[in-house]
Amino acid sequence: MNFQMKKLGLCVMLASFAGVVLPAEAATKLENIKVDNSMAAQTRIEFQFDGPVGGYQDRLQYDPEQLVLNLSDAESALLKNDFHVKSKAVRNVNVKQSGGDLSVAVDLESLVPYEVSQQGNSLYVTLGQDPRAVAAKQGYSDQSVVGKSKKTVAGGINRINGINFKKGASGEGLVVVNLDNKNAALELVPKGTHLIAKFHGSAVDPNLLAVMDVNDYGTLLRNIDVSEAADGAVLDIALQSAEFDAKHVQNGESIVITVAKKKPVVKVTDAPRYSGKNLSLSFQDIPVRNALKILAEEVKVNLVMNDSVSGNITVNFDNVPWDQALDTILRVKGLDKRMDGNILLIGQQEELAAYEQKQLEEQEKKSAKEPLVTEFLQINYAKAADIVKLLKTNDGANSISAEQGGSSNYGQGGGNGAEASDSLLSVRGTATVDERTNTLIIKDTEASIANVKRLIEKLDTPIQQVMVEARIVAVDETVADQMGIHWNLGSDNIIQSGHEDGKWSGTAGTNTIPAEAEYKGGVINIGRLGSNFNLNLTLAALETENRTETIASPRVTTTNQKKAMIEQGYQIPSVTAASSGATTVEWTDAVLKLEVTPQITPDDSIFLDLEITNDDLGQTVTTTTGSSVSINKRAVQTSVLVGNGETLVLGGIFQQEIKRIKSQIPFLGDIPVVGWLFKTVENSNQRREVMVFITPHIVEGAVGR
């Protein structure tokens, strides 16, 4: 019996030794790569290994156009891993080791059909289209001509034969695309509320070129527009929202495109930061009290534990901060800790909470017996009434206007009977404001008054001031010219009705010439036509240029976050008639105004809420109630962020009006050269431009920082 046991032990020992020293099964090694270009339309690449390949995956990808082979449990035994191939279809072959797998990337000149097959220790990749397969698609039935070939589409690497839509279990949209073969190069491109699916080098069945309405399925998809472009098929998927996630999975000759709502990003709260000394501890089912004691001795911390700390624990800490290790042990056992000076107190959470509650009640009883003292606190920069509003945290009617004698009483407990937990004042404390001297009168315990003093020390500080300067530049420019000739036929006599002895009678008079009023130029009398008419010629030659430049620069100074306004101008009356016949006069403002609210940021930039107006008198217009003066309005309202002392262009308006007026005698004015004797041309070019600039300055030296 003993001999058999010794024999069995020897066998176990030998087996263990063999398992240690014998090497594991070696990975398949790639030893050689051969390229065959003898076929007219195809390229064949042979990958030679030292044994059968365990498994592989192949896929086409676009940009760059490659065929990628992933070989599991393989490695390269080649002297170099990058090969340049002289072929019409292939440019390079790159071999790369990735962990225990081997990746082979075949760079293609363009996307072409391919087929991967394994024979013995070799892996064959055939790229290109077999002419026999093309002949078969064109109607040849001779199987000797067609032979065995992979199913392809002439003029491309693939063909879409079917498109289906389904709704997933979680409400996502599933677009199922059926292909001729697995040679697919799909690219998903998000574009706003659209997802563009490009099947490079693939054709589409003409019956599928349409728009599929999938809105009734209740998914994120609205419709699918199927079209064919120069480089392949395109599926334009319209979505309800631009917030989506998309992916695709290929299974043989089918591709499933999944579109789902974008999952909200859950913001993880910051974990507690531990800065204690790192230590390594390993306990196996020991009492928690002993584990905490060993931990305290390691970091030299005074430790007190309640009797309720019990139970066993198993831990294994390797280079962990001691405070993190402590929190982990306490959390697992339902314990909590408190620091009292340099003493660490550990107990059950309920016990510690009850102890603190008892201490708080005793403190409140003690505070209720403390004597009240009165303190006069001078407020320098803020308003004392505003300080009182901050003495309590809840929103209430804590603002009371001044009573007789220039003082206001804001009640007990921090104003209006607030609870002690909501106020810096105790239940018995009162706060009174003397608005004449801006003094805060506090009657409370010394501890509460100390808290109020700390509040005032933080808040009663000078406020920064900002000077805001605006500049409105308005330029009006008009250029006009007039050239031509005006003819006028006039009469020296005014013919009156009546006659005597068969003769017309009249009185001598002078007929005004309209040309003199309408055209600037000399009047030339050409001659008389008979005894009553004369012919006049007016030469019109005029050029005018008018340029007006107006600059308005309002500026105002205010404190941080306080609105300020400055304006200058006049009021324009306008008469309004009622249905009863009575008239009223309304006054309209035409002013230059700057209204601004500044806010200083921590980096000394200034955020401005702006409203700038620059009104001016316009032309006189005729209304039903008489003549009124119009108002030319220029205004801008915006919010901007500007650096201290920097100038920012808020905006501008540019207008240009070009006019050309031609007056002529019909037909005569159209005669070349001579026609200028019978026509007049007026040209005008009017430009208006308004630019608004803003420059804020933080007033230095006005406040202490």
Q: What is the mean pLDDT of residues 619-640?
A: 79
Model-level pTM?
0.42
Give the Cα separation of 476 and 345 in Å (integer): 82
Strand partners, 75: 29
Asked if residue 4 has pLDDT above 60, the reply is no
For residue 499, pLDDT over 50 is answered with no
Check residue 10 and give its pLDDT: 42
Average pLDDT score over residue span 433-459: 87
Report the percent of the chain where pLDDT is more than 90.
6
Q: Dump pLDDT digits (tens) for 466-488.
A: 999 998 888 888 888 878 777 77
Count the neighbouring beta carbons within 10 Å of the beta carbon of residue 187.
Answer: 14
pLDDT of 154 strictly over 60: no
- Other beta carbons less than 10 A from residue 114's beta carbon: 25
Report residue 507 as tokens: 């009185």
pLDDT of residue 258: 92
- Confidence grade of residue 210 (pLDDT, cut at 50, 70, 90): confident
Distance (Å, whole) CA 233 – CA 159? 9
348 or 265: whose pLDDT is higher? 348
Query: Is residue 517 over pLDDT 50?
Result: no
The DSSP H or E segment spanning 13 is: helix 2-21
What's the confidence (pLDDT) of residue 269?
53
pLDDT at 504 over 70: no
Confidence of residue 523 (pLDDT cuts 50, 70, 90): low
- The β-bridge partners of 176 are 164, 256
pLDDT of residue 695: 92
pLDDT in tens, 265-304: 655 555 567 888 888 888 788 888 888 888 888 888 898 9
Provide CB contacts within 8 A for 34, sequence distance 6+.
45, 46, 48
Which pLDDT score is estimated for 21? 38
Cα–Cα distances (Å) from 325 to 288, 295, 337, 432, 685, in that order, read 13, 9, 13, 52, 83
Mean pLDDT of the chain: 76
**Is there a contact between 551 and 471 (Cβ–Cβ < 8 Å)?**
yes
* Position 515 pLDDT exceeds 80: no
The most confident of the ranges 141-145, 183-187, 218-222, 357-361 is 218-222
Q: Which of 213, 236, 233 is nearest to 223 (CA)?
A: 213
Choice among 10-14, 65-69, 147-151 with the minimum mean pLDDT = 147-151
CA distance 234 to 186: 10
* Residue 121 burial class via C-beta count within 10 angstroms: exposed 0-12, middle 13-18, buried 19 and up: middle
Tell me the C-alpha to C-alpha distance, in Å, between residue 473 and each of 332, 476, 551, 614: 72, 10, 5, 10
The highest-confidence range among 1-5, 16-20, 112-116, 160-164, by mean pLDDT, is: 160-164
Q: Roughly how many angstroms between the first and final C-alpha of the chain, as a whole number?
A: 96
| Confidence class for position 636, pLDDT limits 50, 70, 90 | confident
Predicted local confidence at residue 597, as pLDDT:
92
267 vs 434, more confident: 434
What is the tens place of the pLDDT at every residue in 28-72? 888 888 888 777 677 888 888 888 887 888 877 776 788 888 888
CB proximity list for 338: less than 8 A, separation 6 or greater: 344, 345, 352, 356
The mean per-residue pLDDT over the stretch 324-336 comes to: 88
Residue 272 pLDDT: 64
Question: What would the mean pLDDT of 491-518 be, rounded to a whole number?
Answer: 43
* pLDDT for position 175: 92
Q: Which of 110-119, 220-229, 422-431, 623-632 has the highest mean pLDDT?
A: 220-229
Find out whether the peptide bond into 64 is cis, omega within 30 degrees of 0.
yes
DSSP class of residue 323 equals H
**pLDDT confidence tier of residue 696, bands split at 50, 70 and 90:** very high
Tokens, residue 77: 């035994």
**Which has the higher per-residue pLDDT, 22 or 362?**
362
Range with lowest mean pLDDT among 292-301, 450-459, 599-608, 694-703: 694-703
Phi, psi of 215, rounded to the nearest 5 degrees: -65, -30
What digits encode the pLDDT tens for the residues 157-197? 788 888 998 888 888 999 999 988 877 778 888 988 899 99
The set of residues, in sequence order, having a beta carbon less than 8 Å from that of 357 and lying 6+ positions away, is none
**Tokens, residue 343:** 């003493």
> How much of the chain, in percent, has pLDDT values that exceed 70?
78
The confidence band for 502, taking pLDDT boundaries of 50, 70 and 90, is very low
Q: Which two tokens stand for residue 465?
A: 């001031």
CA distance 41 to 53: 28
SS3 329: helix
Helices first, then strands: H and E counts in the chain: 9, 43
pLDDT band at residue 397 using 50, 70 and 90 as cut-offs: very low
Residue 257 to residue 221: CA distance in whole angstroms: 12
Query: Hey, what are 372's tokens?
Result: 């009240």
Is the distance from CB of 229 to CB of 191 less than 8 angstroms? no
H/E segment holding residue 518? helix 514-518
Q: Which of 446-455, 516-525, 656-665 has the lowest mean pLDDT?
A: 516-525
pLDDT computed for residue 420 by the predictor: 40
**Pairing status of strand 173-179 against strand 101-108:** unpaired
For residue 423, is pLDDT > 80?
no
pLDDT of residue 598: 92
